[in-house]
């Protein structure tokens, strides 16, 4: 219903409720989020809402960063300190996601106040470089924590391309960016043995029918209120994980 929550809610749930090991929770959740988003993304593709030029800039940063992060992780010995670092990174990513959700209205208002004059070619190139850098940061963060592709990706797009993307196009582009990123990062976690396939199967049995239902009823849901509540819950979870 919101495009957010696959990673931000599921990862802490796997950690805090099911007691899943941190890196296994991240790897399993990447596949969970990717498959679930893929199951309901066809509507955006059919309506032509995706900005492929902007999407290519994000992918140019995020996909190589995800692959490099996996290569770095595969060459490290996992000790208690590494696992604690991953836990802290997840808590930080969830808190940032919550701030992105809660601050979305402020960014939207600033978008409305900015004149809609076209950018020069030089300005466009500069912002495309910013998008690649932001994509690299998102790719690293998502690979380490499985959190950030949804709300943080949308916040990046809203900040960089508020004059060029309509709200619907922004959501569609954000979802399209998240799907390959989740699969690239998830493939790396699978290769180094950090995906619980049985747990993933059970999660998808629940998530795919529910996601399809959510897509049907989403037009009747007060999105602003739902995202505000989700942001508050995520902020509480993220800060709780950081305090622990």
Confidence band for 165, pLDDT divided at 50, 70 and 90: confident
Query: What's the Cα-to-Cα distance from 240 to each of 90, 93, 98, 243, rounded to whole Å?
Result: 11, 12, 13, 5
Of 152, 135, 147, 162, nearest to 59 by C-alpha is 135
Residue 238 to residues 22, 87, 92, 142, 177, Cα–Cα distance (Å): 14, 10, 6, 15, 24
Tell me the Cα Rg of the chain.
17
Q: Parse the chain into domains and list their residue ranges.
A: 6-243
Model pLDDT for residues 32-47, shown as the tens digit of each residue: 988 988 887 776 666 6
Select the highest-mean-pLDDT range: 19-23, 95-99, 215-219: 19-23
Instruction: Give residue 67's pLDDT.
Output: 95
Q: Could you report the per-residue pLDDT of 82-133, keeping only the tens digit for each?
A: 778 888 888 888 888 888 778 776 666 665 555 554 566 777 788 889 999 9
CA 28 to chain centre: 14
Q: Which pLDDT score is estimated for 131?
A: 93
Instruction: Examine the pLDDT at 207 and tell me if it is beyond 80.
Output: yes
């Amino acid at each position: 219903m919101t495009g957010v929550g696959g990673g931000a809610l599921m990862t802490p749930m796997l950690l805090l409720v099911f007691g899943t090991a941190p890196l296994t929770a991240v790897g399993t959740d990447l596949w969970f989020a990717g498959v679930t988003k893929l199951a309901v993304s066809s509507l955006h593709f059919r309506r032509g809402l995706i900005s492929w030029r902007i999407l290519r800039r994000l992918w140019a940063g995020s996909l190589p960063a995800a692959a490099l992060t996996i290569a770095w992780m595969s060459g490290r010995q996992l000790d208690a300190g590494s696992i604690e670092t991953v836990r802290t990174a997840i808590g930080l990513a969830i808190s940032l996601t919550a701030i992105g959700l809660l601050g979305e209205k402020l960014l939207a208002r600033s978008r409305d106040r900015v004149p809609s004059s076209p950018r020069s070619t030089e300005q466009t190139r500069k912002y495309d470089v910013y998008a690649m850098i932001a994509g690299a940061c998102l790719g690293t963060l998502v690979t380490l924590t499985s959190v950030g592709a949804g709300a943080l990706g949308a916040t990046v797009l809203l900040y960089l391309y508020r004059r060029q993307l309509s709200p619907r196009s922004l959501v569609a582009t954000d979802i399209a960016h998240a799907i390959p990123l989740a699969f690239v990062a998830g493939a790396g976690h699978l290769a180094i043995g950090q995906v619980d396939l049985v747990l993933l199967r059970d999660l998808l049995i629940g998530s795919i029918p529910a996601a399809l239902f959510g897509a049907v009823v989403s037009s009747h849901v007060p999105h602003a209120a739902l995202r505000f509540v989700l942001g508050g819950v995520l902020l509480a979870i993220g800060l709780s994980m950081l305090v622990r």
